[in-house]
Amino acid sequence: MKVNMSAGHGGVSGRFASLEEVAMEYAFIIRQQKERKAN
């Protein structure tokens, strides 16, 4: 689980912030699928 402590009105800004968030979501989903297949 990842907690973004800088979220909110003063959150992360920059060109790649939204892409990083999507990448973290995909990584979580892929990790869950791998764990499901392992069991």
What does the pLDDT look like over 1-39, one tens digit per residue?
777 676 666 555 677 888 888 999 999 999 999 999 987
**Which pLDDT score is estimated for 28?**
94
Q: Is 8 in a helix, a strand, or coil? A: coil
Q: Which amino acid does the sequence have at 8?
A: G
- Name the token pair of 32: 């869950």
pTM higher than 0.85:
no
Q: What is the DSSP letter of 4?
A: -
pLDDT of residue 27: 94
